[in-house]
Each structure stands twice: as C-alpha cells, then as structure tokens.
Amino acid sequence: MDNIINLQIDGFKCTAVISEIVHRHHKMFKISFNNGYENIFYTDVETGEWIEEDLGFTLLAKEIGNQIKKNKRYSLPDTKILTWHKQYINDKLICFGFYSLINGKQKFYQIYKANKKYMYTLVDMENNEWQILGNSSISGGHIDKAFVSRLIEILPLYTSQVK
C-alpha cells in the first residue's frame, strides 16, 4: 500500500509516495518524489538509522525515517551487532559484515555488504557443504561465486563468535 508523505528539508518542502518493500532484515521503502527523484531507503541493522541506497546516512534518509516512525503501522526491526571483516586479498578489498548463529548443528551466517545491506545467509552444513539462503539477488541472476568462495574460507576463522 502506498502512502503520501510531506517532507521539509533545509526549508524545502516536497511530497513523496512511499511504497514498502517487504524485507526480512531491514525496514525498506521505495520513495518517489514529486520532482522525479526516487531511491530505496532502508534501516541499518546495527543502529536502526536510515540509509539512502548508494548514498549512505544522508539528511534525506534521516528525515524519511522520522516520517516513517510517525506511522504506527511500521515497527522497526530489532538491531543486531555485526562482525566486520576487511582484508586485502590479491590487491582486492574483501569487506563484509555478518551475524552468526547456530541452529542444531548448522551454523548460519547472515551476510551484509559494506553498505550495510543484507545479501544472503550462508549455512555451514553438518556435512562440510555450504548452502545459500534468502538471496535477494537471485532475481537478478547473479551470485559472485568468487566472493562466496572467499566467505567460505574466511567465516570458519570466526567460529568462537557463532552464538
């Protein structure tokens, strides 16, 4: 369901149409402004602050978040602390965050991009195999297999942090 919101940023007034994007790990909305600008806005899973996709923690994202908070219909998801990994491998930066947990004998790693957006969950199976769950990029048809291979090498190094 779309809603219309009125914003005032730095004295400039505008109207926008807000459309919720159902997401398991973020509150996420597509916002279309009356001047033609549109973008995706979502919550940071660590702080609950609002992020403007590809631009980060902007004043516009903060104001969008304030407007959304006024609508009692939209509750914010619980926050969680991610573990961040940054490393250069062959002169290429590998940067991701993850939240880990155990369910039975399986280890689950929710993987987040450097921009704090959820990518997918990797599951370290009992039989030394890995499975990808909840991949939001499957519809785009692209999974970076080299990146996933690096994750599978790196994540076991953090076994003491799995809850």
- At residue 153, φ and ψ (nearest 5 deg) are -75, -35
pTM value > 0.85: no
* Per-residue pLDDT at 163: 59
Residues 6+ apart with CB under 8 A from 53: 39, 40, 41, 42, 115, 117
What is the layout of strands, in order, in the sheet containing 106-112? Answer: 83-89, 92-103, 106-112, 118-124, 130-133
DSSP state of 78: P
Q: What are 28's strand-pairing partners?
A: 21, 42
Amino acid at 78: D
- At residue 139, φ and ψ (nearest 5 deg) are -60, -30
CA angle 140, 145, 148 (to 5 degrees): 105
Q: CA 12 to CA 103: how far, in whole Å?
A: 50
pLDDT digits (tens, 9 = 90+) for 130-159: 999 876 554 445 788 889 999 999 998 887
pLDDT digits (tens, 9 = 90+) for 23-81: 888 889 999 998 899 999 999 999 999 999 999 999 999 999 988 887 766 666 778 99
Q: Are the C-beta atoms of residues 15 and 22 closer than 8 Å to each other?
A: no
Q: Is the pLDDT of residue 103 over 70?
A: yes
Amino acid at 38: E
